[in-house]
Structure 1
Amino acid sequence: MTFSNQPPDKAFIDLGMGWPGFDLLPQAILKQAANHRLGEDDRSLLNYGDNPGDGRFRTALADFLTRSYRESVTPEALFLTAGASQALGLICHLFTQPGDTLLVEDRTYFLAMGIFEGYGLKLVSVPTDGKGLIVEALVEKVVEHKPVGLYTIPTFQNPTGVTLSQSRRERLVELSQAHNFLIIADEVYHLLNYTTTPPPTLASYAESGTVLSVGSFAKILAPGLRLGWIQTSPRFVERLAADAVVASGGALNHFTAGLVTAVLEQRWQDQYLTSLKDTFRLRAAVLSNALRLHFPELTFHEPQGGYFVWLELPEHVDTEELLRVSRPFQVGFQPGVKFSPDQAARSGLRLGFSFYEPPELELGVARLRQAFSAYLKQK
């Protein structure tokens, strides 16, 4: 996937997009934050930052997460990153070796798979259902493959939207301790809940000594900030902070963290997140209603949070072929095969509602129905 800092062709509705619309980006808040922070008589954010991240930033972030997660989060458990992708790369660099096995969900974030494969990891998929990872299948995979870790998106999963149940979270942590593997929890969607309250984060199990929870401001503030965090045990924070790149350059993205400190301290983040969730709640409902209208023969998991809807078409449908058919109808999506390490899920597809406003979402689904009808006629 390639990103552009320009709005896409307005004639084409790409429901495969997985980032916020330009209309949602909080330019005014960040301008206010910059004026506030740079107006202080404090030049520390212009120098190198403390390796784990500036203490003031980590304190403000811990306070925000304690309020938002409704869980106790301490500054000592947080490590500053340059976004979730960079965090995953750093974790691979420090905690894995080429040839290690990493377990992943059988439908997972396709760009994360590219990061893992770039570090020479062997990916093995674990089956999931409507409650997330199937624990019995996970046990079998752990015993057979002796993995270095498991990568999971436990809340409002990308691409399926499913949330791992509380009982399975507890069992997962128990297994990681018993079999000595890491849990790399990509929890970037946890705060984007619309119609339900998810179980406690896997980050809340950081003291288990096996959890590295990845968070990001990309989903709750602005992707261009390239700012995030890892929540984990203090022992792992020390290991992350001792990385040679961090030791040489200091805190990752220290200046941006300084600006976001003001957003957190002034609680502008809280206010913006509330507004963002209201917007996405509406868009999720609009997309779901459009799918029920135009695809009444299909069932799907209506999103309770996150960015995405996973649509499972009849088994004979190849959504890569459907995507080619869809382009003349001026609509796009992400085909299911991209999300499977086994090149499975060929009949599935991912739709996103974060970028487009309701009229475009409705029109996009109507076009997708036309494209699907044309595809079936060709068969």
Structure 2
Amino acid sequence: MTDNPLDVIDFGDGQPSLSLLPVDALRTAADHCLTRGDAALLQYGADQGDVGFRESLARFLTHRYATPVSAEHLMVSAGASQALDLVCTRFTQPGDTILVEEPTYFLALEVFRDHGLRVVGIPLDHDGIQLDALRDALTRHRPALLYTIPSFQNPSGSTMSAARREQLAEVSREHDLLIVADEVYQLLDFGTAPPPPLATHVHAARVLSLGSFSKICAPGLRLGWIQGSPALLEHLLQSGVVHSGGGLNPFVSGVVNSLLDLGLADAGLDALRGIYAERSAVLCRALREELPMATFVEPRGGYFVWVQLSSVMSASQLLPIAAAEGVGYRAGALFSSRDGFASALRLSFAHYDEAALLHGVHRLARAIASYSTSAE
């Protein structure tokens, strides 16, 4: 960062800093890929994705998940957002009800609105989505699907317990409920792995797990995957967009195939986990020192800290005051299906180095002090 006070530190940026993007590793992988001279990489691809890439990805996930993953259960996507849009296209109709965690990823809510879906929020507790509330909603609404972020949830940073994951899979079997698990943060722990992903239940429950190289490598790749049973994947593969497009992102998947085979994806991911752990610790320490009145749970992975301010404060009303101080964030109401969390805000530690994080929290503390003074 620079010391220019006019530089805005925007904690709303849920993306890595430019310094963390693996330019050299991707150059090496691209050279490795292209020197094979396989012109098919530049042709339309297989609908499910290149089998060689899916086999390499399956080996990578088998190692990282510590549970077997088969290429047969993987489909290539153009990132998790495109995958979610495709799932909505193939498994819902306008007017359908879907269930989400409360709070949930705010841009997923935009995707659901684009599809004309009615969104019902289910509250979280310290173990994840509340099953009693979920069962009640299943009885009242007959939803098309449940969207969940099990590990290092966006925005709350919480992680669903192993027992709750097993119980959720059982609910899926009992009610024939499609679970769409956004597991893009599953591999971003800070030293203690979360419970096995919901992807491990694709054989026995209606689960589609979404993964992405955006969080573990580089967002601009626009490359991800969907893990599910062959029957669920086949329904996705009947999409006109998939047929017409000749698969999704075949050239980039070829480059990332080399990244995986050369061990560069593993090395890059391990480096990111260490850096994000350090940045998270810096941000949380600064919050404790500068905002002692705020409450939050220190994350064990992912990108975000979910901060609760005094209940009399409005994070949305605070935003322009914060902007004047040169700091930004995402207000909590964005993450609610029913205009909740007015006094909460989401801060990302992924985009800034330690010095910028400290400056940002200091600016945020000044903004809150100004807000509190003006409200008196």
Residue 220 of structure 1 and its aligned partner are, at CA, apart by 0.4
Residues 127 and 160 of structure 2 are in contact (CA less than 8 Å); yes or no, is this contact kept in structure 1? yes
Alignment counterpart, residue 173 of structure 1, candidates 169, 174, 177: 169
CA distance in 1: counterparts of 2:64 and 2:321, whole angstroms: 43
**What residue number does 1:286 align with?**
282
Identity across matched positions, percent: 47
Q: Deviations over 1:63-83 (max 9, x none)?
A: 000011111000000000000
Question: Is 1:46 aligned with 2:42?
Answer: yes
Residue 297 of structure 1 and its aligned partner are, at CA, apart by 2.6
CA distance in 2: counterparts of 1:148 and 1:239, whole angstroms: 15
Alignment counterpart, residue 207 of structure 1, candidates 203, 210, 219: 203
CA distance in 1: counterparts of 2:152 and 2:64, whole angstroms: 16
Out of 72-81 and 190-199, give the one that drifted further: 190-199
Q: What is the TM-score when the length of structure 2 is the normalising length?
A: 0.97
**What residue number does 2:187 align with?**
191
Residues 52 and 240 of structure 1 are in contact (CA less than 8 Å); yes or no, is this contact kept in structure 2? no
Residue 88 of structure 1 and its aligned partner are, at CA, apart by 0.3
Alignment counterpart, residue 118 of structure 1, candidates 103, 114, 121: 114
CA distance in 2: counterparts of 1:305 and 1:240, whole angstroms: 30
Q: Secondary structure at the match of 1:218?
A: helix
CA distance in 2: counterparts of 1:9 and 1:73, whole angstroms: 49
AA in 2 matched with 1:87: A
Q: Secondary structure at the match of 2:119?
A: strand
CA distance in 1: counterparts of 2:99 and 2:265, whole angstroms: 34
**What residue number does 1:304 align with?**
300
Residue 279 of structure 1 and its aligned partner are, at CA, apart by 0.7
**What residue number does 1:109 align with?**
105
Q: Deviations over 1:132-171 (max 9, x none)?
A: 1111111111111111110000100000000011111111
1:193-342 equivalent positions in 2, closer than 5 A: 193-342=189-338
**What residue number does 1:375 align with?**
371
Alignment counterpart, residue 349 of structure 1, candidates 338, 345, 348: 345
Measured at CA, do residues 10 and 60 of structure 1 come closer, stay the same or move farther in structure 2, by a change above 3 Å? farther
CA distance in 2: counterparts of 1:298 and 1:372, whole angstroms: 10
Residue 224 of structure 1 and its aligned partner are, at CA, apart by 0.3
CA distance in 2: counterparts of 1:122 and 1:103, whole angstroms: 9
Residue 296 of structure 1 and its aligned partner are, at CA, apart by 1.8
CA distance in 2: counterparts of 1:209 and 1:234, whole angstroms: 12
Residue 10 of structure 1 and its aligned partner are, at CA, apart by 6.8
CA distance in 2: counterparts of 1:189 and 1:370, whole angstroms: 32
CA distance in 2: counterparts of 1:135 and 1:301, whole angstroms: 22
Residue 173 of structure 1 and its aligned partner are, at CA, apart by 1.1
Residue 299 of structure 1 and its aligned partner are, at CA, apart by 2.6
**What residue number does 1:90 align with?**
86
Residue 9 of structure 1 and its aligned partner are, at CA, apart by 9.8
**What residue number does 2:56 align with?**
60
Note the residue ranges of structure 1 that are not aligned, 5 or more in a row.
1-7
Residue 242 of structure 1 and its aligned partner are, at CA, apart by 2.2
Measured at CA, do residues 258 and 10 of structure 1 come closer, stay the same or move farther in structure 2, by a change above 3 Å? farther
**What residue number does 1:5 align with?**
none
Q: Deviations over 1:209-237 (max 9, x none)?
A: 41000000000010000000000001112
Note the residue ranges of structure 2 that are not aligned, 5 or more in a row.
none
Alignment counterpart, residue 76 of structure 1, candidates 51, 72, 78: 72
**What residue number does 1:4 align with?**
none
AA in 1 matched with 2:84: L
**What residue number does 2:136 align with?**
140
Out of 138-147 and 185-194, give the one that drifted further: 138-147
Out of 79-88 and 233-242, give the one that drifted further: 233-242
CA RMSD of aligned residues (A): 1.2
Out of 230-239 and 217-226, give the one that drifted further: 230-239
Residues 32 and 258 of structure 2 are in contact (CA less than 8 Å); yes or no, is this contact kept in structure 1? yes
CA distance in 2: counterparts of 1:282 and 1:217, whole angstroms: 21
Q: Secondary structure at the match of 1:377?
A: helix
AA in 2 matched with 1:26: P
**What residue number does 1:363 align with?**
359
Q: Deviations over 1:38-67 (max 9, x none)?
A: 000322211111110000000000000001
CA distance in 2: counterparts of 1:191 and 1:335, whole angstroms: 26
Q: Deviations over 1:262-289 (max 9, x none)?
A: 0011110000001111110100000010
CA distance in 2: counterparts of 1:261 and 1:134, whole angstroms: 39
CA distance in 2: counterparts of 1:79 and 1:70, whole angstroms: 20
